[in-house]
Structure 1
Amino acid sequence: MRNETAASLCCAASSLTCGFLLFKISGLKTACRNGWNLINGRCFKYVPSRMTWAKAERNCISMGGNLASVHSSEDYYDIQSLIRRVTHELKETWIGGSDAAEEGNWSWSDGTLMTFTNWCPGEPNNAGRGQHCMQMNHSGEKCWDDYGCTVKQPSVCVSKN
């Protein structure tokens, strides 16, 4: 259904029903499942359990999501705020970036395009030729770092619903 058609249908509906219908059609999200937090139209969940990157990704998938993709500085700061709210600090945390499939070609595990980056200076550096997974809140600058995927640390998941 096109938005114009939906808008014309709203003329006959109550304003509350109309608002809900237009919101549903536009795809914008207003709420998340219990334990998830709405950030810029997507639902995020901080997972404090320390896991490897692969296990953290499987855990996110089991909850209907993926490790978090970050598409803007606003997303990044809002995810940091979520972590700070839960932990009272900015811990290094897994997010969904990886170049395991092809060295130097970073992609998000949820399949979205990586159009925004927030790498720390000198990163990604693939130190020791074994850093293929992305962590956030690295160093004093609290930016992104490529890191060894077998290290166990907390994670952030994202879900569209």
Structure 2
Amino acid sequence: MIFLPTHVHTAIYLSLARSYRFNMSSGCPHGWSYFNHRCFVYVPRSMSWGQAERNCKSMGGHLASVHSNNEYRHIQKLTSDHDYIETWIGGTYEFEEKVWLWSDGSSFHYTHWCPGEPSGGNQNCLQINYTPSKCWDDLWCDLRRPSVCAKKKSTLLG
């Protein structure tokens, strides 16, 4: 058995406590990033928009909604390690209402559409990183893309 001086135990404890508090303060699961009271994760597996939304729901969230340029930049950072590949987020066109909606039910006010988009033609789901401008494009929902999920941070953790 090795005995360490008390101050070493205290230093180890404080180091662990700081690390624990830091990880827990964001309220996000491991692998998710925290931004503006929400947790985000990039999902590299290619799926249809509907499959991607169901996958996000299975993790307690939805495909990401975007409410500001800063949020969009944060999502862009998540996709940057994957060469900014075209990626699903939570926008979907409600044909009968003729409006774009977020799958999480939040208001659809901020947009970053490419010129000439949305173009319609039964393209009812929103992909990001379209063209070198990295803007938004409406696309057929059955095409397969990676995705970004978002959920509220856990109130139990932080």
TM-score, with normalisation over the residues of structure 2?
0.78
8 Å contact from structure 1 (residues 135, 145) kept in 2: yes
Q: Which amino acid is the alignment partner of residue 59 of structure 2?
A: M
Q: Aligned match of 1:68 in 64, 67, 75?
A: 64
The question of 1:90 aligning with 2:90 is answered no
Structure 1 residue matching 2:124: 3-state secondary structure: strand
Q: Determine the structure 2 residue equivalent to 1:158.
A: 150
User: 2:97 & 2:136 partners in 1: Cα distance?
Assistant: 17
Q: Which amino acid is the alignment partner of residue 50 of structure 1?
A: S
The question of 1:119 aligning with 2:113 is answered yes
Deviation at 1:101, TM superposition (A): 4.4
Deviations 1:121-159 (A, max 9, x none): 000011xx2200000010111000000000001000001
Q: Determine the structure 1 residue equivalent to 2:31.
A: 35
Q: Structure 1 unaligned segments of length 5 or more: list them.
A: 1-28
User: 1:154 & 1:103 partners in 2: Cα distance?
Assistant: 27
Root-mean-square deviation (Å): 1.3
Q: Structure 2 unaligned segments of length 5 or more: list them.
A: 1-24, 154-158
Identity %: 51
User: 2:95 & 2:51 partners in 1: Cα distance?
Assistant: 17
Structure with higher RCO (Cα < 8 A, 6+ apart): 2
Q: Determine the structure 1 residue equivalent to 2:130.
A: 138
8 Å contact from structure 2 (residues 94, 101) kept in 1: no
Structure 1 residue matching 2:99: 3-state secondary structure: coil
Q: Determine the structure 1 residue equivalent to 2:99.
A: 105
Deviations 1:105-131 (A, max 9, x none): 0000000001100000000011xx220
Structure of higher CA gyration radius: 2
Deviations 1:2-61 (A, max 9, x none): xxxxxxxxxxxxxxxxxxxxxxxxxxx733111111022210010000000000000000
Aligned length, in residue pairs:
129
